[in-house]
Structure 1
Amino acid sequence: MSNKVQATFGGGCFWCTEAVFQEVKGVNSVVSGYSGGQVPGHPTYKEVCSGLTGHAEVVQITFCPDVISYYDLLVIFMTTHDPTTLNRQGADKGTQYRSVIFYHDNEQKAVAEHVLEELKPHFNEPIVTEISPLEVFYEAEDYHQNYYLNNQTQGYCSFVITPKLAKLRSMHAEKLQS
């Protein structure tokens, strides 16, 4: 059995990011949560949405590096959200929706820096994705977990997440579960 590693990314609404990585081969679990804030204690969704805690909506991915590399996860992450909009993804605005990579160790930091540099020419605007050390990950409330899988007909899911998944499937088909 291969070892398992974690990655933590924020690319706007965690429902979107969670849905993307749940389809990737080698991903064992995706947990929605919060990270990067300055307020002590476990933040609530309402507190994070206020923009006052400094937390970002993130997903923590547990994956098998023998099946999918951290590099490949980063490429998928960077190409399934807009890393050029500061504190915003589509209609979602605020620091909680910022594009961020929370690295777990110096190797992840180096890979993240490399991927951002490598992808820079593929975007018309500068990449604003933050690269920060992971300090604490707080799991989001239960109703946020597996949100798309449980609510596919809900408006936000239909109009925002389903098109992201179509983009994922067209760009990264070889990396997805069959």
Structure 2
Amino acid sequence: MEKIILAGGCFWGVEAYFKRLKGVIKTKVGYAGGNKKNPTYEEVCSGKTGHLEAVYIEYDRKIINLEKILRHYFDIIDPFSIDRQGGDVGPQYATAIFYNNKEQYDIIRKMIQEIENNFNKKVATKILKESNFFEAEDYHQNYLEKNPTGYCHINLNSIKNSKDYQEPV
């Protein structure tokens, strides 16, 4: 199993999307990259802790690789936007990829370079060493499964036409 942490705006939609990818074994929403141990949702939303809303993703490399996960990630976020995704605005909604080894870093860097070359534009998504991931409160876990009419900035139907689609794990 491999793991990666992705920050892509509101974590509810990011988690719901990645649960629908074949090879994703486990997801958890939480707060990553900040400077306070075990922050609360309210503290993160204040913008004072430095944390981003993020999703921890565990996946089976035999079924899906990091490059494919990142292609899906860049399909659902705006990599050029700073501190916002969809209608969500604030530093906690910045996009970032938290890597945990050099192999992951190299894959991420290559993909970002490819996007910048294709669009002739600087990507705002940060590449950060994995640090300080704290699981969010229980009511945030699998939020859109518990609240199917809840807010989501991601079109969750977009993955249904992908060969990578599976019913949520």
| CA-CA distance at 1:119 after TM superposition | 2.4
| CA-CA distance at 1:166 after TM superposition | 2.3
| CA-CA distance at 1:125 after TM superposition | 4.6
Q: Does 1:135 align with 2:126?
A: no
Contact 1:80–1:168 under 8 Å retained in 2: no
When normalised by structure 1's length, the TM-score is: 0.88
**Moved runs in structure 1, 4+ residues, more than 2 A?**
119-126, 166-170
Q: Residue 166 of structure 2 corresponds to which residue in structure 1?
A: 177
- 1:114-143 deviation line (CA, Å, top 9, x unaligned): 111122345475321000100121000000
The alpha-carbon distance between structure 1 residues 13 and 177, as it changes in their structure 2 partners (threshold 3 A), is same
2:45 to 31, 43, 49: 49
Q: What SS does the aligned partner of 1:126 have?
A: coil
Which residues of 2 match residues 106-125 of structure 1 at below 5 A? 106-123=102-119, 125=121
Look up the equivalent residue of 1:103 and give its one-letter code. Y
| CA-CA distance at 1:65 after TM superposition | 0.3
Look up the equivalent residue of 1:8 and give its one-letter code. I
Q: What SS does the aligned partner of 1:120 have?
A: helix
Provide the rounded CA distance (Å) in 2 between the counterparts of 1:119 and 1:13. Answer: 22
Q: CA RMSD in A?
A: 1.5
Q: Specify every segment of 5 or more residues in structure 2 that has no aligned partner in the other structure, as ranges.
A: none
Look up the equivalent residue of 2:136 and give its one-letter code. A
When normalised by structure 2's length, the TM-score is: 0.93
Provide the rounded CA distance (Å) in 2 between the counterparts of 1:123 and 1:23. Answer: 28
Q: Residue 30 of structure 2 corresponds to which residue in structure 1?
A: 33
Contact 1:34–1:58 under 8 Å retained in 2: yes
Provide the rounded CA distance (Å) in 1 between the counterparts of 2:110 and 2:166. Answer: 26
Q: Residue 5 of structure 1 corresponds to which residue in structure 2?
A: 2
| CA-CA distance at 1:106 after TM superposition | 1.0
Which residues of 2 match residues 89-104 of structure 1 at below 5 A? 89-104=85-100
Q: Residue 168 of structure 1 corresponds to which residue in structure 2?
A: 159
Contact 1:102–1:134 under 8 Å retained in 2: yes
Provide the rounded CA distance (Å) in 2 between the counterparts of 1:125 and 1:119. Answer: 8
- 1:38-77 deviation line (CA, Å, top 9, x unaligned): 22x2100000000000000000000000000011101110
